[in-house]
Amino acid sequence: MSLSANRFISRPIVATIHTDAFRHNLGRIRELAPESKIWSVVKAKAYGHSLEAAFKGLESTDGFALLDLADAQWLRDHGWEGRILLLEGLFSQQELERVIRLRCDLVVHSEKQVVWLESLKNYSGHPINIFLKLNSGMNRLGFRPAEYRTAFHRLHAAGYHLHHMTHFANADQVERSPSVGEQMECFNQTTEGLEAPSSLANSAAILWHRNALGDWIRPGILLYGVSPTGVHADIVRSEFQAVMSLRSEIIDIQNLKKGDYVGYGGRYEAPEDMRIGVIAGGYADGYPRHAEDGTPVWVDAADTQGDGVICPIVGRVSMDMLTIDLREAPNAKIGSVVELWGNEVPVDDVAQMSGTIGYELICALAQRVPVLTD
């Protein structure tokens, strides 16, 4: 079926979110860390997949971790009764009332947040769960080891239910400092004797540092079937599935003569007479403008006799369109379906050809692209 057969959508570019792939990926993570509970990280509109789709596919998670109270509110409004963690905690003291009403767990990473929480008087509800964040070497958020234990004792005295938390800077690569081993050593030393559940691993640690998981793991990127390293080959054996497919259509075809140039700046020169396909999809849709010639685009099987073929980008990506070399797809025509990323073309591969990582591309999917779930 042609994508534009959906009568609500005229321009053919559409992102489809495969909720079964969400379920599959969550199941794979449970197999990798059967002893841990799972915070499904759905910040940034579930890494561009929409909170709605993530909620549908990840309902069996133990909790959702996010940044914005509005998203916590959305989950409660739609019936989520389980736990919600605010990954950066309170941005202001005023938020505390809503946090309590929405029954959120809080990360606490700064002295200021401790003071706000200590000032809560006459609260008689359920103890609030705090994930106290240790800066074990990443030097972004969290208490330095020398201050961590004091913060722990103050919040404990104020009646909060405490957990230990830290975040790894290099769980995806062995040779960089601080290593997971160094950060774990700092974590173990600092928290020694302070009994509390822990939350340690992000996606990369879940795959490659099984001794550094903690009672609550915090997978983000793996839930979406994208590689924590930026290299798709690194997760192939772990059998994660791409959750987002970004598809569009060929909206026009040009017959070039040898020596003709394509697009802005004339970056590509035709080495022979050839056809190029013009696709509805450009940087205003979230496709990276930096994509080099050779970046893969998949052209649907229906028009290529077989499994579909990869046709490389030729010429600079523009705001609303991009252009591909159709020499490998002689039957491709106007209306042929293409995949810009998804199961046929890993978003990691597009990212690598554009000087970035899959995380950035999925998060940057533009508002104007309709998101459907299946």
Q: Which residues are catalytic?
A: 43, 264
Q: Least CB distance from residue 162 to ligand PLP, whole Å?
A: 17
Q: Residue 80 or 208: which CB sits closer to ligand PLP?
A: 208
> Interface mask (CB under 6 A) for ligand PLP, residues 204-223, using x and -?
--------------xxxx--
Residue 281 binding ligand PLP, by CB under 6 A = no
> Interface mask (CB under 6 A) for ligand PLP, residues 142-161, using x and -?
--------------------
The residue count of the chain comes to: 374
Residue 140 is labelled as binding a ligand: yes
**Which one of 50, 135, 179, 202 is in contact with ligand PLP (CB under 6 A)?**
202
Return d(Cα 87, Cα 199) in angstroms, integer: 12
Number of C-beta neighbours around residue 30 at 10 A: 16
Q: Residue 62 or 293: which CB sits closer to ligand PLP?
A: 62
Instruction: List binders of ligand PLP among 72-131 (CB under 6 A).
Output: 87
Return d(Cα 127, Cα 345) in angstroms, integer: 47
Return d(Cα 281, Cα 266) in angstroms, integer: 19
Nearest to 75 by CA among 88, 63, 89: 63
Q: How big is the site for ligand PLP, counted in residues (CB under 6 A)?
A: 11
**Which one of 33, 41, 151, 212 is in contact with ligand PLP (CB under 6 A)?**
41
Q: Residue 167 or 316: which CB sits closer to ligand PLP?
A: 167
Residue 170 binding ligand PLP, by CB under 6 A = no
Residue 225 binding ligand PLP, by CB under 6 A = no
**Which one of 57, 63, 89, 228 is in contact with ligand PLP (CB under 6 A)?**
228
Q: Residue 221 or 321: which CB sits closer to ligand PLP?
A: 221
**Which one of 163, 164, 167, 232 is in contact with ligand PLP (CB under 6 A)?**
167
Residue 286 binding ligand PLP, by CB under 6 A = no
Nearest residue to ligand PLP, scored by beta-carbon proximity: 220
Q: Residue 109 or 247: which CB sits closer to ligand PLP?
A: 109
Residue 165 is labelled as binding a ligand: no
CB 40 within 8 A of CB 23: no
Q: Residue 12 or 228: which CB sits closer to ligand PLP?
A: 228
Binding site residue list for substrate = 140, 319
Binding site residue list = 140, 319
Residues within the interface to ligand PLP (CB under 6 A): 41, 43, 87, 167, 202-203, 218-221, 228
